[in-house]
């Protein structure tokens, strides 16, 4: 047997390190979820015993922090594992409208609904509804947080047709990302979510890119006569 050259040996080491890190991240996520259960139990006890509001607020912030940390770790775990898609006939426009509607519905994390410009005809393809919804939501949140002009974000959906391919195009504009291409920067938890979104789009046979002030994804759709 020929010995591994340095590059091959380094590649194997990095792969093993990645697998080990993924397992550790998974275990930490489970531990955080366990801590959240204990914190939730304490919060309920404090509410029943009418503890001071500042103590109850501290527990609520602790639970929220554990939620965020577990959510971020879950994104890393999902990014590092192969995607399993369960495809069915899905209209991209319908999913996009649902995503934008949910972003605007109440709560501390709600956002103003961006203008959505879409074609009248459905943009139907074979997609995993849950995965596609997650991808469109992550990209929409990233676009909202990095919109060049407050409350001016527009989402445009259209179809492109070639001889042998029909594509749904979704664009978010105007946006500006200081860290470079948000689909490949891994610059913080939001960027990791957008990288996972790009991975989901690519798993469906599509592509994700930043083109100056525009975020754009393309997804293969059925031919509509």
Question: In whole angstroms, what is the distance from residue 184 CA to residue 169 CA?
Answer: 20
Q: Tell whether the model's pLDDT for residue 118 goes beyond 90.
A: no
Give the end of a domain, one of 64, 80, 96.
80
- The residues, any chain, with a CB within 8 Å of residue 79's CB and separated by 6 or more, are 192, 195, 196, 199
For the cut 70, the answer to whether the pLDDT of residue 150 exceeds it is no
Residue 183 reports pLDDT greater than 60: yes
68 lies in which domain range? 6-80
What token pair was written down for 135?
């991808």
CB 41, CB 86: distance < 8 Å: no
CATH code of the domain in which 132 resides: 3.30.565.10
Mean pLDDT of the chain: 82
Q: How far apart are CA 57 and CA 40, in angstroms?
A: 12
Asked if residue 126 and residue 208 are part of one domain, the reply reads yes
Predicted confidence band of residue 112 (pLDDT cuts 50, 70, 90)? low
Q: How far apart are CA 43 and CA 100, in angstroms?
A: 33
Mean pLDDT of the 26-55 span: 80
146 in the same domain as 64: no
Whole-prediction pTM: 0.75
37 and 125 inside one domain: no
Measured distance CA(7)–CA(29) in Å, rounded: 32
């Amino acid at each position: 047997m020929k010995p591994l050259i340095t590059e091959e040996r380094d590649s194997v080491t990095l792969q093993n390190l990645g697998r080990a890190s993924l397992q550790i991240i998974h275990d930490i996520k489970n531990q955080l979820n366990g801590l959240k259960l204990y914190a939730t139990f304490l919060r309920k006890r404090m509410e029943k015993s009418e503890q001071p509001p500042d103590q109850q607020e501290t527990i609520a912030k602790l639970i929220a922090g554990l939620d965020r940390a577990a959510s971020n770790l879950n994104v890393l775990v999902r990014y590092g594992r192969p995607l399993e898609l369960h495809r069915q006939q899905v209209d991209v426009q319908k999913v996009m409208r649902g995503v934008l509607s949910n972003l605007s519905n109440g709560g501390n994390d709600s956002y103003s609904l961006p203008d959505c410009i879409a074609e009248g005809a459905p943009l139907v393809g074979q997609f995993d509804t849950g995965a596609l919804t997650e991808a469109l939501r992550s990209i929409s949140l990233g676009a909202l947080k990095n919109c060049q002009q407050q409350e001016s974000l527009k989402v445009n959906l259209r179809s492109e047709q070639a001889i042998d391919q029909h594509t749904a195009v979704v664009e978010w504009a105007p946006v500006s990302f200081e860290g470079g291409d948000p689909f490949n920067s891994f610059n913080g938890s939001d960027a990791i979510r957008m990288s996972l979104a790009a991975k989901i789009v690519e798993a469906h046979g599509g592509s994700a890119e930043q083109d100056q002030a525009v975020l754009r994804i393309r997804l293969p759709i059925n031919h509509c006569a």
